[in-house]
Chain A
Amino acid sequence: MIDDVHELRTDEFLAEVHSFEFWFQSIEGYLSDSTWGHDADAEEEAIDDEDRDRLISVLCNYCVGEAAALEAASGMIQIAPDRHSQIFLATQVADEGRHLEVFLHRLAELGVTDADAEIAKRASPSLLVFKDRLLELVSGKDWESALFAQNVVLESLEFVVFRRHAAEADTITSQVLEGVIKDERRHMGFGENELGRRLSRSPKLQQRLRDFRPELDALVLATLKETAHHLELDAEEERVLGKGYLESVERLGLLG
């Protein structure tokens, strides 16, 4: 095991941090004693019917996001430009599959018996449009746009929402979210690094993503609005979430 990956040469660093071995060491730290994403002995807190219903709506939308991420990440393996990216995306595929599974399991714990029907009923229209658009980019084999939409935009949206939700959720939901957030951080890092390198070499790509961004922003902000409603956040809190998302995109120098 390498002591400090930052001491490696760039190509060796990328090979190391995109490897199964690295993923394996990372998840061991926070998943080894969990079952369905939370402590096996964590106790269910009492939740009133209204809050339970709101939580179910939020979780249904998390499932939509994670199913989109699972399908997009797996499709991106086919178009990844190199083997290390393929292997990293394979770890991401397993992560996204796990996220979908733990959210579905949480829904079952909350008494949902037909998750598919519930998701179809409660899915945010903007998030569904985002999902279609993302999968269109993947099937169109547009690596940079798909990576931007998936590992920067979608992951950033999930990151800010999950972090906010985890802070006030019941213990079990919070533990599930904390594990997911740790994975999202890795996925965002991959997206930012891979795209950042490409953007620094290609002003044309910068312009292309800058032109494309407003379309995704509109869908993300509409999804955030719907999620904020389910989480009972006020306008200021919703603005903070939007700002958090925009800051992630700003890190790539793609604002305005």
Chain B
Amino acid sequence: MADFLSAYSIQNWLESCPQGYLEDTSYGHAVGEGEPGLLMDNEVLRNDAIRTTVQLVLGERCALAASSGLINAAPDEASKRFLATQTLDEARHVEVFTQRLYDLGVAKDDLESVLSTHANPHLVAFADVLLEKVDKKDFVAGVVGQNIVLEGMAFSVFEMMHAVNSEMNPKFCHVLSGTIADERRHVGFGENRIGSLIKEYPERKAEVEQMQKEMSYHMLATFAAAFQDVEAINELEKIGEERSHAKFQGADLGVMDPDEMEHLLADTVLGEFKTRLGRIGLEYQTPVAP
């Protein structure tokens, strides 16, 4: 275990993250990059971007609370130090996505009210399940919830967003790329560290699997609510802008209905859960359909 954890040292993190892919960036993107005119000049598209970004800020706030809360519950110093880097990563994500809200025209004084207006209640419930485990200093459940379920979901959502925005919005894509690189590290730690703990405490399996089932339900409900909102797609059609034909999981997102996109994303994330949970010795639990 010591060798595996040494790969997650702060020294490695400094070299790969602040001195690596974040070098010469400002709020996660190249200096001088801005939100595209199409988005800033169109109220419907701008509001849609604000609504989406609000969910990212809330997800990252949850991740910040969870990773910092898990430091005191970690059973070894090396895990504490890895979680210290993750805490800072999550704080950075909160900061860059909050900055995006400002860039999209949200006034600083209005931030909290915009967040509560647009917060998806299912995402809030998803976060509550995780934070309850963290609050109880339950390291095994906390890391599975945070580094496998939450980060696994974020990873695929960010990849899909990256694909959708790849032609139209390089600034947002750069922010997402840095975030995805961080998430990959977090998921890797979760898989590696928890595998050995699950072997050590097999009696914890059922409870942790139940948590995954609950969190997955709220995640699917979040996706369902998000993809029900078709205003932006209708607006693009109305103004004669073609949707991006970017590929996600081999599918052309430009020709898919929102329903199809929702199922593609849900299937991708749940498939990832199944694989990752299997690797750490947990059995994936199919959630109730929302």
Contacts and interface: CB of A to CB of B under 8 A. Distances in A.
Interface of A: 1, 11, 15, 19-21, 24, 27-28, 31-32, 35-36, 67, 70-71, 74-75, 77-78, 83, 86-87, 89-91, 93-94, 96-98, 100-101, 104-105, 116, 135
Contact of B26 (A21, A78, A87): A21
A135 B137 CA distance: 14
Interface string B82-107: 01110110111011001000000000
Interface stretch (B69-77, B209-217, B237-245, B246-254): B69-77
B81 A71 contact: no
B68 interface: yes
B80 A97 contact: yes
B124 interface: no
Given A24-B22, A74-B87, 16 more contacts: A19-B95, A20-B91, A27-B18, A31-B14, A35-B11, A67-B77, A71-B72, A77-B65, A77-B68, A77-B69, A78-B68, A87-B94, A90-B90, A93-B84, A97-B10, A104-B77
9 contacts: A20-B95, A74-B72, A74-B87, A77-B68, A87-B95, A90-B68, A90-B90, A90-B91, A91-B91
Contact of B80 (A21, A27, A70, A78): A70
B268 interface: no
A31 B13 CA distance: 12
A97 B85 contact: yes
Contacts of B77: 67, 100, 104, 116
A94 B65 contact: no
A1 B84 contact: no
B259 to A, nearest CB: 36
A77 B90 CA distance: 12
B85 to A, nearest CB: 6
Nearest to A94: B88
Contacts of A83: 94, 98
Q: Tell me whether chain B's interface is mostly helix, strand or loop, or mixed.
A: helix
A225 B47 CA distance: 61
B11 A36 contact: yes
Interface string B23-48: 00011000000000000000000000
Interface of B: 9-11, 14, 18-19, 22, 26-27, 64-65, 68-69, 71-72, 77, 80-81, 83-85, 87-88, 90-92, 94-95, 98, 108
A86 B10 contact: no
A76 to B, nearest CB: 9
Contacts of A24: 18, 22
B10 A94 contact: yes
B70 to A, nearest CB: 8
Most chain A CB inside 10 Å of its own CB: which residue of B19, B27, B68, B85:
B68
Contact of A94 (B22, B69, B85): B85
Contacts of B27: 21
A77 B95 contact: no
A94 B84 contact: yes
A96 B84 CA distance: 8
A36 to B, nearest CB: 6
B288 to A, nearest CB: 31
B95 A28 contact: no
A96 B81 CA distance: 9
Nearest to B76: A116
Contacts of B11: 35-36, 98, 101, 105
Contacts of B83: 74
Contacts of B84: 70, 74, 93-94, 96-98
B142 to A, nearest CB: 13
B72 A75 contact: yes
Contacts of B108: 11, 15
Closest 7 CB pairs of A and B: A97-B84, A90-B91, A74-B71, A94-B88, A77-B68, A97-B81, A74-B68
